[in-house]
Structure 1
Amino acid sequence: MDVKMKGIVRVVPYDPDWKNEFSKIKAMISDCVGDLIINIDHVGSTAIEGLASKPIIDIDVVIDSYDVFPAVKDRLSEIGFEHEGNLGVEGREAFKRTFIDEFLPYHMYVCPKNGKGHLEHIAFRDYLRNHPEAVKTYGELKIRLAEQFRTDITAYVNAKHEFVQSILKNVNKE
């Protein structure tokens, strides 16, 4: 069953401060689980200079394998993160903060280094970082879709899917 998510879809011009916000969140996560993980990557639209985006930082906490996941999950819960499962995407485990913190809103995923979720996040981000014409096209699409689906985040996300898949296909050709 497809549940329509409520809320306002808001896409804003790129903000250079998103890098600083990511760095602050990364430091907090690293202090908690840094010895158990491989890396903390800034992914999603806020990681791409010049791209209009919802002002929400997307973060992949990269682990070597699911063997370490229980320890990472336990430590994150100690600092107020709740595991939400994979939310329908294989190769990533979503976490949300159980209280409002001082950071810009963010989505955090724990991903194995070779998991599909993480590999696609990195491939998409890196492709856009190297193709300014795709950034322009994607930004215009996101603004148009945010206006069209202003109160339906699910429809907004679904409508971007074809563009995202076309980029991932281009990555595989390069």
Structure 2
Amino acid sequence: MATLVEIVPYDENWPRLFHQIANDLHRLLGTVVLAIDHVGSTSVQGLSAKPVIDVDITLRSLPDVPAASEKLIASGYEPRGNRWDDDMWAFMQHTSVPKQRVYLCPPGNETHRRRMVFRDYLRAHPDAAGQYASLKQTLAIAFSYDGDRYTAGKRAFVEDILRKASHR
């Protein structure tokens, strides 16, 4: 069954919830963790978002991914595979509130780098964040039960922001 694409107003609790999640994940995964970053729309102050905390975990190396994956799965995270064919492994936690989407990646991962650049640009440019919020709201209405088309509809905006960020 298709899942509703739901966009909700920014929740002031999201940063605190991210820190709790990050602490739990760091305890679970241990010394293989180099960094845990809050990414996605919930990481941008004031930005409406799907009620899902997106977390990128940079591990020491690509060979650390299988053992870290096993620990996530044993803790109730559903494996979602290698996203974007970029050695970025996705996991969902559907039972938490809000839901969590966790990504494991090796150092220097290009997808992670792009996500951080996009996040940081939106944090520094509230006008761009507002435009993004409007686009997401429009797409959520147009593709309310088609997450793939919703995501595809954001692609041009994201690429434009990444181009702008690289010319700063």
Taking structure 1 as the reference length, the TM-score comes to 0.89
Q: Which amino acid aligns with 2:59?
A: I
Question: Which of 145, 149, 159 in structure 2 is aligned with 1:165?
Answer: 159
Q: Which runs of 4+ in 1 moved over 3 A?
A: none
Deviation readout 1:23-63 (Å, 9 max, x if unpaired): 22112111111311101110000000011111111000111
What RMSD, in angstroms, separates the aligned Cα atoms of the two structures?
Answer: 1.7
Q: Which runs of 5+ in 2 are unaligned?
A: none
Change (3 A) 1:8 1:74: closer
Q: Which runs of 5+ in 1 are unaligned?
A: none
Give yes or no for the alignment of 1:90 onto 2:57.
Answer: no
| Separation in 2, partners of 1:17, 1:66 | 32
Question: What is the SS of the residue equivalent to 1:83?
Answer: strand
Change (3 A) 1:80 1:127: same
Question: What is the SS of the residue equivalent to 2:49?
Answer: coil
Determine if contact 1:41/1:59 at 8 Å carries over to the other structure: yes
Question: Which of 17, 21, 25 in structure 1 is aligned with 2:17?
Answer: 21
| Separation in 2, partners of 1:49, 1:91 | 29
Alignment of 1:61-80 (within 5 A): 61-80=57-76
Determine if contact 1:92/1:111 at 8 Å carries over to the other structure: yes
| Separation in 1, partners of 2:21, 2:120 | 21
Q: Greater RCO between the two (CA within 8 Å, min separation 6)?
A: 1
1:10 is matched with 6
Q: Which amino acid aligns with 1:169?
A: R
Deviation readout 1:135-164 (Å, 9 max, x if unpaired): 111111111111111121111111011001
